[in-house]
Structures are given as C-alpha cells and as structure tokens.
C-alpha cells in the first residue's frame, strides 16, 4: 500500500490507501452504526487485494457495495432508495456496474434481496466478508452470489483496514462482534450473531500502527464493549467451558482499556457502546486512572420506566442506572454522558413516558440520540407485542424529549464557558474556512481560529462562547500532549 495525499474540496488533506497497479474501481458506502463504517474499511482492504481501488464516482465504478442497516424501518427504506439510484446510474451511464449488498439487511433478507431487487448481484452478511473474492468470481461469471453465514469466530482481527474518507487523526478499532443481550426490540443479535471478542494482541498492533501513521484518537467499537472477554477465542457464552488456564489469563474490557492506554499514552482512547448492565466500576476506575482514556460514556438506557425496561429485556432497573450515573460522576466528575432513547415501545403509557422524562431530568445528558419505536420482524417484541402506541403519540413524545435534551445540552455546554480545554484539531469547520473544528475529551465539538495550528495538533482552547451543542473558543497554545 502506498499513501496518496488527495486534496478534497475544502483543501484539507485526506490520506487514502490505494494499491498501485489496481485497475478496477470500487464505490463503497455505509449506513447505520460505526461498526458498519469500520467493517467497510475491512471490506475495502479485502477488495484492494482483488485489484480494486476505491472511487467516489458511481459512474466509473465497476463494483458498488452498500453496507446496510436494519435497526429501524427507515434505515432500510434509505437503502432501498439508494438501490434505485444505482439502478438509474447503471441504466444511463454505467452498464458494466455490479451491485452488492453487505451488512445487516443482507443478513436479514438473505435471498429475498436477490428476488426483490433486480439490481442486486451479490448479498454478503457481516461475518462473510472474507468470502468476497469467491463470491466476486461468481458474479464475474454472470451469476448472483450470496453468503450470509454467521460465525462463532470471525473478528477480522488479521485484516488491516483501509481507512476510508479519513481525516487522518480519528479512527475506529473494532474489538467485539455480535451481541448476546437480546433486547426485545433489537434486530442486531439476529443480524450480527453471537458475541465474540478479538485477540488483544491484534487490537494493540492496530492501535500502534494507527499511532505510527499519525492517528491521535481511536474509538474501540462493539455492540456491547463492556462485555469484551478474550480467553483464547470462541463465543462469550462458552467462557464457562474454558480451561482454568484460559480463565486465569483472560482479558476483560477494563484490562483491555488499560493495555491500550499504556501502549500509546498519548493516543486518545474512546469506546462505544456501553450497556448499563455490563459497565463495571473497574472500567470507570480505569478511565479515571489514565488521562488518555476520554471522559465520555455513551450509555443508552432506552426508557426510564422499570416496567418498560423489563419488557425490553434491559437487565437493570431505573434505580440501578441512577446508581451507575452517581458512581461515574463521583469517580470522574467531569465525565460527559450521552444516551439513546426509544419512545412508543409497545404498551408505553403516559406515566411510563413521564418516567423517561424524569430520568432525563435526573441525569441531564450532554447529548443523545432519540427514536420512535420501529417494529422489527423476528424480534421478541415484533413477534409477541402489538405496536400499539399511535404514531402521533410517538411523534409527540419524541419531540418532547428532543426539546428537553436540547435544554440539557445547552446547560451542559454552558458549564464549559470560561474554561480552557484540550481540543484535538480534526478538520476545517463547516461554517468557516478560517476556523478549525475538533473535539474535547468529553466528545464536545469545539471551533476556533486556525492560527498556526494544523490537523492532528492537540491545542488548548479557552471557551468564550457556545451554541447548544458546540463550543466556540480561542487558542491559548499547544497542549503538552503533543
Ligand atoms: N448496542 C448497540 C445498539 C445498537 S442500536 C450500539 O452499539 O450502539 C442503536 C440504538 O438504536 C439503540 O440504542 C436504540 O436506542 C435504537 N434502536 C434499536 N432498535 C430499535 C427499534 N426497533 N426501534 C427504534 N429504535 C431502536
Ligand atoms: Fe441491540 Fe440491546 Fe445488543 S440494543 S445491540 S440487543 S445491547
């Protein structure tokens, strides 16, 4: 691989890995969670060895791969619309183009995709990307190809991802795959299979490699990162069957965090997503101990009502969640906390909804992602519960908590006024070409005049103003972290 510096429209440098001599063009795009974006980088790496370099131009693509999301119906509709677009491009400009669907929709719909969408030539589930060369050979010979087998082992730990659309300083590193939690609304356990963890050695190698290539901020990724457990390979649920030796030398999430923090003491380390029932005090204490582990926890709760939490099969109560929040704030006083919330889960009453509101009032999250319930075929709630909250009620409840979150974000953002914070310069601000945009440890976006600084610098910024979600400041010099 050689690094090519590509000037994009804003004049920022993008570092893109391209392999010399590769003739075919791959257009790859991703929808949904960070894991999908990270998986696409693994796919790009596999395809680079098959003679493909990436392109941003659909009209010249030999192969289009779309990494899809099934989490809500709307996510699936978005992908269907993209398929219509590919269809039009193929018809009008690029008849040679082949189209493959990757990710969760591929896993959920399987051969149905080939029947329903004539444009699709290739269907590949999230654990089958190493089979892409074989599948592609089929497609090249004019046949449709499909592999949606889920794996007990696959973590892609041995593949070095091609970084796509990168700013050159932030990157994702995946550490677990699948989820065993079986929240009743969620399709992920069905599309991504059982939970398994990646060898810490390969994680550290990737982290070291990223540092050596100039990256300064990484996010360890998993559907449920706190459940990370390496005992030599195999499914998380089979840990009980491991040998005493394997158990004694196993690595859990707080150990992994510590190993990463020590391996690269200047690299900012983030992680996502935490499930409250699996986030241990150990992890919070490790975060407090290492200053390069960022003080932000994304801690989805979904609902503030104990009855709904139980219906959702979230294995904690509202009171236990508050205890966790109190512990985080006691051990890491300036830790940012963010949420995911679902309104309109089947049977949710006004009283249940008010419990969500009061939970939000208690926590006052820094930011959050809020959704109306979308019934997913095959899930426990989809099979056993009627989607009985009227659409208008769902929408009204959503608007109420979105408004409340905005108020809380504003309160939280204002707390930084007058303070000096370390910001990693990530890219040019969207609003002004004279300003940089970066994030604080707490994952809050901060914009400030460019001065003599460059992408990748850790800069101390004095916060002088803010909007509800963004800090505005002035630089006071380079941070000692450089
Ligand atoms: N643990 C995962 C969660 C993935 S889903 C992670 O890594 O983030 C992301 C969020 O989508 C969930 O936290 C939940 O708030 C929302 N979500 C999941 N299934 C949903 C559904 N059926 N309807 C509406 N929102 C849903
Ligand atoms: Fe989904 Fe719950 Fe796992 S939200 S990804 S089943 S933790």
pLDDT at 49 over 80: yes
**Looking at residue 105, what is its pLDDT?**
97
**Looking at residue 313, what is its pLDDT?**
98
State the ligand closest to the CA atom of 277: 2
Q: Ligand 1, closest atom to CA 275?
A: 1
State the ligand closest to the CA atom of 220: 1
- Condensed to tens digits (0 to 9), the pLDDT of residues 165-221 reads 899 999 999 999 999 999 999 999 999 999 999 999 999 999 999 999 999 999 999
Residue 447 CA, ligand 1 centroid: distance in Å: 30
For a ligand 2 pocket test, name from 180, 186, 237, 299 the mutation site with the most ligand atoms within 8 angstroms of its C-beta. Answer: 186
- Mean of pLDDT values over 404-427: 97
**Looking at residue 13, what is its pLDDT?**
33
Residue 253 CA, ligand 2 centroid: distance in Å: 17
Work out the pLDDT band at 20, boundaries 50, 70, 90: confident
* Residues written for the chain: 482
- What six digits make up the tokens of 34? 């960070």
Compute the half-sphere exposure of residue 44: CA atoms within 13 Å on the CB side of its CA. 29
- Contact yes or no for 44/26 (Cβ under 8 A): yes
Nearest CA to ligand 2 atom 7: 181
- Mean of pLDDT values over 77-88: 97
- Mean of pLDDT values over 116-128: 96
CA angle 380–381–386, rounded 5-degree value: 140
Residue 180 CA, ligand 2 centroid: distance in Å: 8
- Condensed to tens digits (0 to 9), the pLDDT of residues 91-121 reads 999 999 999 999 999 999 999 999 999 999 9
User: Phi and psi dihedrals of 36, rounded to 5?
Assistant: -65, -45
CA dihedral 311, 371, 278, 204 (to 10 degrees): 150
More confident residue, 79 or 7: 79
Instruction: Determine the longest span between alpha carbons in the chain, in angstroms.
Output: 64
Nearest CA to ligand 1 atom 18: 186
Q: Which residues line ligand 1 (CB under 6 A)?
A: 33, 71-72, 185-186, 188, 223-224, 273, 300, 302, 340, 342, 371, 373-374, 376
Work out the pLDDT band at 370, boundaries 50, 70, 90: very high
CA dihedral 193, 199, 204, 207 (to 10 degrees): -20
Nearest CA to ligand 2 atom 2: 183
For a ligand 2 pocket test, name from 36, 181, 369 the mutation site with the most ligand atoms within 8 angstroms of its C-beta. Answer: 181
CA distance 152 to 149: 10
pLDDT at 15 over 50: no
Q: Which residues line ligand 2 (CB under 6 A)?
A: 179, 181-183, 186, 188-189, 223-224, 275
State the ligand closest to the CA atom of 370: 1
Per-residue H/E/C for the chain? CEEEEEECCCCCEEEEEECCCCCEEEEEEECCCHHHHHHHHHHHHHHHCCCEEECCCHHHCCEEEEEECCCCHHHHHHHHHHHHHHHHHHHHCCCCCEEEEEEHHHHHHCHHHHHHCCCCCEEECCCCHHHHHHHHHHHHCCCCEEECCCCCCCCCCCCCCCCCCCCCCEEEEECEECCCCCCCCCCHHHHHCCCEECCHHHHHHHHHHHHHCCCCEEEEECCCHHHCEECCCCEHHHHHHCCHHHHHCCEEHHHHHHHHHHHCCCCEEEEECCCHHHCCHHHHHHHHHCCCECCEEECCCECCCHHHHHHCCCCCCHHHHHHHHHHHHHHCCCCEEEEEEEECCCCCCHHHHHHHHHHHHHHCCCEEEEEECCCCCCCHHHHHCCCCCCHHHHHHHHHHHHHHHHHHHHHHHHCCCCCEEEEEEEEECCCCCCEEEEEECCCCEEEEECCCCCCCCEEEEEEEEECCCEEEEEEEEECCCC
**Looking at residue 21, what is its pLDDT?**
85
CA distance 375 to 100: 26
- Mean of pLDDT values over 41-65: 95
**Looking at residue 17, what is its pLDDT?**
62
More confident residue, 14 or 147: 147
**Looking at residue 482, what is its pLDDT?**
87
Q: Ligand 1, closest atom to CA 222?
A: 7
**Looking at residue 240, what is its pLDDT?**
93
Residue 369 CA, ligand 1 centroid: distance in Å: 9
As a whole number, the mean pLDDT across the chain is: 94
Residue 184 CA, ligand 2 centroid: distance in Å: 9
* pTM score above 0.75: yes
Q: Ligand 1, closest atom to CA 187?
A: 19
pLDDT at 12 over 50: no
pLDDT at 1 over 60: no
**Looking at residue 7, what is its pLDDT?**
34
**Looking at residue 6, what is its pLDDT?**
38
CA distance 256 to 203: 9
List of domains in the chain? 2-147 (3.40.50.12160), 170-414 (3.80.30.20), 420-478 (2.40.50.140)
Work out the pLDDT band at 4, boundaries 50, 70, 90: very low
Task: Tally Cβ neighbours within 10 Å of residue 163.
Answer: 23
């Amino acid at each position: 691989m050689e690094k090519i510096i590509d000037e994009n429209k804003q004049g920022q440098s993008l570092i893109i890995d391209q392999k010399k001599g590769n003739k075919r063009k791959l257009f790859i795009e991703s929808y949904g969670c960070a894991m999908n974006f990270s998986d696409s980088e693994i796919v790009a790496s596999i395809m680079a060895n098959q003679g493909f370099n990436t392109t941003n131009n659909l009209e010249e693509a030999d192969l289009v791969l779309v990494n899809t999301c099934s989490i809500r119906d709307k996510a699936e509709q978005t992908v269907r619309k993209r398929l219509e677009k590919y269809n039009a491009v193929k018809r009008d400009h690029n008849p040679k183009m082949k189209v493959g669907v990757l990710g969760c929709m591929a896993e959920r719909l399987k051969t149905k995709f080939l029947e329903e969408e004539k444009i699709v030539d290739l269907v590949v589930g999230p654990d089958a990307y190493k089979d892409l060369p074989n599948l592609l050979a089929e497609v090249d010979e004019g046949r449709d190809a499909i592999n949606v087998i889920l794996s007990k082992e696959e973590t892609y730990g041995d593949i070095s991802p091609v970084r796509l659309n990168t700013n050159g300083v932030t990157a994702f590193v995946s550490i677990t795959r699948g989820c065993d939690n079986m929240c009743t609304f969620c399709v992920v356990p069905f599309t991504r299979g059982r939970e398994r963890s990646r060898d810490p050695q390969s994680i550290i190698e990737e982290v070291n490699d990223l540092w050596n290539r100039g990256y300064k901020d990484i996010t360890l990724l998993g559907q449920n990162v706190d459940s990370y457990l390496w005992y030599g390979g195999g499914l998380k649920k089979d840990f009980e069957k491991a040998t005493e030796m394997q158990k004694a030398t196993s690595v859990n999430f707080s150990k992994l965090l510590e190993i990463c923090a020590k391996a690269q003491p200047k690299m900012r380390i983030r992680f996502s997503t935490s499930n409250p029932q699996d986030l241990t005090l150990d992890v919070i204490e490790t975060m407090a101990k290492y200053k390069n582990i960022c003080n932000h926890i994304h801690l989805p709760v979904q609902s503030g009502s104990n009855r709904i939490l139980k219906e959702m099969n979230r294995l904690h109560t509202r009171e236990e969640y508050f205890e966790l929040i109190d512990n985080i704030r006691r051990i890491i006083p300036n830790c940012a906390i963010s949420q995911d919330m679902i309104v309109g889960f089947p049977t949710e009453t006004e009283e249940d909804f008010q419990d969500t509101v009061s939970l939000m009032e208690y926590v006052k999250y820094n930011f959050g992602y809020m959704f109306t319930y979308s019934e997913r075929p095959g899930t426990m709630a989809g099979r056993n519960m009627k989607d009985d909250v009227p659409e208008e009620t769902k929408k009204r409840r959503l608007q109420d908590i979105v408004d409340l979150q905005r108020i809380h974000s504003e309160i939280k953002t204002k707390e930084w006024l007058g303070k000096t914070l370390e910001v990693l310069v990530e890219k040019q601000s969207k609003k002004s070409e004279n300003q940089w945009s970066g994030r604080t440890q707490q994952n809050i976006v901060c914009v400030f005049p460019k001065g003599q600084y460059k992408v990748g610098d850790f800069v101390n910024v004095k916060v002088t103003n803010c909007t509800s979600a963004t800090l505005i400041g002035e630089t006071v010099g380079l941070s000692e972290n450089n």
